[in-house]
Structures are given as structure tokens and as C-alpha cells.
Amino acid sequence: MDAEDTLTIDIDGWEGPLDLLLTLARSQKVDLRELSILALVEQYLAFITDARALKLEIAADYLVMAAWLAYLKSGLLLPRDPEVEPDPAELALRLQLRLQRLDAMREAGARLMARDRIGRDVFLRGAPEGLRVIRKPAWQAELYDLIAAYGAVTARNVPVMHVVSRRPVMTLEAALQRVEAMLGHALDWTALERFLPATADPSLTRSSRASSFLAMLELAKQGRVELRQDAAFATLWVRAA
């Protein structure tokens, strides 16, 4: 056979014994349903014998198939022995079906690959805009929230402004004037507290006490008043000099 040489050389190219069998079957150039299994078995065994003669490495599964086919061949040639199960004719039919199946899938694969394929024969839209669902927040607020918020902002700012603009202090100058003016009326020893303005604000009291004390020290330095304190932390007395 012509094919034998190339087959021998290409032994590594087969995808297993079934692949080789199918190729040999195809070389019979008949419909696989009309295939002569006996002829196919002969071809396969001859191929393996040749390959061995050429001392080619033959994978074990090819030899297993060869052994099975040799067994099938003897079963097909010998008169039918009803004791032998399964029937060799049925095994031959099953082999034929297997080859048909593989052949059918091979052909189906080729036909699939030849279809109009996306990216080769037909093309999709190159730059689709896309369908987008945009989640848009629907902002919610009630009029009451708005008004209450403005009230909160306003209320937050009012006390801050009050403290800054109207901080109650008595300056040293104010204290000097006040003490000088009052000294004109008080001739005897007078307690420092008497010079302080009347107020309920404790921070103004502290401020005026400190300023008045400084004012008296200044006046004493100028020799215009006399100061007297009987003990530490005791009442501070003042009179015109």
C-alpha cells in the first residue's frame, strides 16, 4: 500500500490507536457503514508489523489494540462458537460504530470551525455605548428640618458674639478715675470693696477689684493716698493722704 510508508513514518502523529484505525478505514474509501472490518484489522496488524520491523517505538496502547484486533480477527474467521461471548460479529459492529462516532465528531468539529464566527466572519459593534442604569439620589428634606437647622446655626452663633463684644471689664483708667472721684467724698479709712461698682456679675467684680487695687497702688506711689492692711488677706483700707 502506498499509504504505509507515510503511516510508518508518522507513527508519533496519531492520537491513539482509534485515530490510526479511522485513518486506515478512510483509506478504504467507502462509507464507514460499509466498512470491511476484517480488511481494516489486516491493515492495522500489517502496519504494526511494519513498524516493529523498522524498530520504531510503539506505544503500548497500539499493541493492546493490535492484540485485541488479532483476537477479533480469529473470532470472525473461525466458525461461530455460541459459547463465546460476546459474539465477534457484534464486537466488529461495535468497533465500526466507534469509528463512525469519532468520524462524525471530527466532521462536526470541522463544520463548526467553518461557520461564520464572531471576530472572523461576523463582527460585533466596536464601541457600544452600553445600557446604563444611573442611580440618582432623590434627596429628601422637610421644611421643618430646614427651619430647625437655621435655628440651630443661629442659636450656636449668638452666645459666641455676646461674649466677645460685651465682655465686662473695668480698665485701669476707669478704676483710677473712679477711686480719685470717690476719695473726694470719703475722708476716713474706707474698705477697698466700697469703691467697687455694684454688680451681680462675679467676673466684673473680679475685674474691678483688680483694677481698683492697681489704681490705689498707683495713687499711693504718687503720695495721694495711704493704704493699710492689718493682716494678710485682711481687708484693705484706704484714705486720702
CA distance 241 to 189: 10
**Cα separation of 194 and 237, whole Å?**
10
129 part of the interface to another protein, by CB under 8 A: yes
Interface residue with another protein among 55, 156, 166, 185 (CB under 8 A) is 156
User: Side by side, which strands form the sheet with 225-229?
Assistant: 190-191, 236-240, 225-229
Which of 53, 138 has the CB closer to another protein?
Answer: 138
Position 52 contacts another protein (CB under 8 A): no
Binding span for another protein by CB under 8 A among 45-53, 103-111, 188-196, 208-216: 103-111
Cβ(94)–Cβ(49) below 8 Å: no
The residue range among 23-31, 62-70, 175-183, 219-227 that interacts with another protein, by the rule CB under 8 A, is 62-70
Q: Which of 3, 16, 38, 177 binds another protein (CB under 8 A)?
A: 16
Q: How many residues bind another protein (CB under 8 A)?
A: 76
Provide φ and ψ at 118, rounded to 5°: -65, 130
- Is residue 154 close enough to count as binding another protein by CB under 8 A? yes
SS3 226: strand
* Chain residues 178-217 in contact with another protein, contact rule CB under 8 A: none
Q: Does 147 bind another protein (CB under 8 A)?
A: yes
Which value, in Å, is the radius of gyration of the alpha carbons in the chain?
Answer: 60
The identity of residue 217, as a single letter, is L
Residue list 27-46, contact with another protein (CB under 8 A): none
Which residues does residue 104 pair with via DSSP β-bridges, in sequence order?
Answer: none
Binder among 80, 98, 194, 228 for another protein (CB under 8 A): 98
For another protein, the closer CB: 161 or 187: 161
**Residues sharing a CB contact under 8 Å with residue 204, sequence separation 6 or more, in sequence order:** 168, 169, 170, 197
Q: Is 122 in the site for another protein (CB under 8 A)?
A: yes
CB 225 within 8 A of CB 219: yes
